[in-house]
Structure 1
């Protein structure tokens, strides 16, 4: 147990004296982290630093509000749906998200509102068809152009050989 502060000393001078005595005894030698920079020394101060540090130590850093998580999931699924390989896969991607949206609208968690309605799957499928047909047309055009170049090359070789022979 530590001794009590003498009546005539200020707290600051008494504490400084105790620190000097402990340094003289070598109690601060060999402490873990000695000589290393302080973590987060260059970052701005955050009011909730201790909460974030505790969550990180418990492995709970990835926790976000369910509504915000669902918003992100909706945006990711909409982007992925337009790149899907088939119409059926578009529908398979969107149906579970629609169920989550409906559940969120029926029983909203406390916090921010979702701000989305259930996704009109037929509308997204129509957009997928447009994007898919445009991709198919582009690929056919590229294949056709390469065939035209190849066939033109073949004819030129054919006529060169005939002139020589």
Structure 2
């Protein structure tokens, strides 16, 4: 009596017989399972392997909050007050648009801060 072989098992066996699994990259080497303390090791490894930036993988509100945390230091290279105001007003506009987006009721209600442009310009001047 033949043992039961599922469709998938049959496909794998046939591919093995054809040699499709021979000479695979990393064959015979242990798997790199990343850090055991980082539950997202696999996605970080995949992003690196694909040469992708993970910034687009986080919610917009978190990116905005990170951007706000970098002010006014990130404005240091801007030479004119008008340029600084343009950057800050663009940031505030993106925050307002983000607040209008529908939210998943299962996630915590995060908002990015609207910045006081005049106060931030004063801090920029001190730099």
- Specify the alignment match of 1:73 in structure 2: 67
Equivalent residue for 2:35? 43
Distance in 2 separating the partners of 1:82 and 1:4: 71
Structure 1 residue aligned with 2:80: 86
- Give the 5 Å matches for 1:26-37: 30-32=22-24, 33-37=26-30
What TM-score does the superposition give when structure 1 sets the normalisation length? 0.47
Choose between structure 1 and 2: higher helix proportion: 1
- Whether the aligned pair in 2 keeps the contact of 1:98 and 1:119 (CA below 8 Å) is yes
| Structure 1 stretches lacking a partner, 5+ long | 6-26, 133-165
| Higher RCO (C-alpha 8 Å, min separation 6) | 2
Cα contact 1:67–1:109 (8 A) shared by 2 = no
In structure 2, the partner of 1:120 is 116
**2-structure distance, mates of 1:116, 1:30:** 52
Larger of the two Rg values belongs to structure:
1
- Give the Å deviation of 1:39: 2.1
Deviation at residue 49 of structure 1 after TM alignment: 6.6
Deviations 1:123-159 (A, max 9, x none): 1112222x15xxxxxxxxxxxxxxxxxxxxxxxxxxx
Q: Is the 8 A contact 1:71 1:114 kept in 2?
A: no
Contact 2:60–2:98 (CA under 8 A) maintained in structure 1 = no
Counting only pairs closer than 5 Å after superposition, residues 5-154 of structure 1 correspond to structure 2 as: 30-32=22-24, 33-40=26-33, 43-44=35-36, 52=43, 56=47, 62=54, 63-107=57-101, 109-110=103-104, 111-129=107-125, 131-132=126-127
Report the CA distance between 1:60 and its aligned residue.
6.8
Q: 1:94 to 1:35 in 2, by over 3 A?
A: same
Question: How many residues are matched?
Answer: 104
| Structure 2 unaligned blocks of 5 or more | 5-18
Report the 3-state secondary structure (helix = DSSP H, G, I; strand = E; otherwise coil) of the residue aligned with 1:109.
coil
1:82-126 alpha-carbon deviations (Å, 9 max, x no partner): 453121111011111000111223335333433443111011112
